[in-house]
Amino acid sequence: METAFIHTPLGIAKLEGDEDGLASITVLDDKLPVSDVIPEVLEDAVYQLGEYFDGRRQTFSLNLNPTGTEFQKRVWVALQEIPYGKTVSYLQLSKTLGDVKAIRAVASANGKNPLWIVIPCHRVIGSDGSLIGYAGGLHRKKWLLNHESPAKQQSLF
């Protein structure tokens, strides 16, 4: 598994992947040095994340290889269907997956998403529109949703 550390507006991101695809993106609060050399298998991910943060990319086209249960992977695939700049509730996501009673399991799988931003778990909010349940911290979720908002001059939250 190859690793790279890059600077983002939300902190240092640790990317891990290999020839099978991108396995994880983790945002760290630590002040770690960024990588001088990006492993070839991570170059495209670094480039696309840079475009995203620069406002030039709304969708990602990367080979993904996250580790998780079959249910978690189903949730992560459903998350990728949420359009840029849009949000859904945990209840809506549960309905999309065909089981409204699975809302807690869906929320748990959402929280275990290893591919921050690329699999957009930040686009899932509470049924009342509140910002809840973001493993990277609610300040990051708020930043990401505002970043994707078509009304850049206003804050969504």
> For residue 108, which phi and psi values (nearest 5 degrees)?
-65, -45
Q: Catalytic: which of 15, 41, 79, 121?
A: 121
Active site residue 121: yes
Count of C-beta atoms within a 10 Å radius of residue 59: 11
Which distant-in-sequence residues (6+ apart) come within 8 Å of 137 by Cβ? none
Residues annotated as catalytic (active site), given as ranges = 121
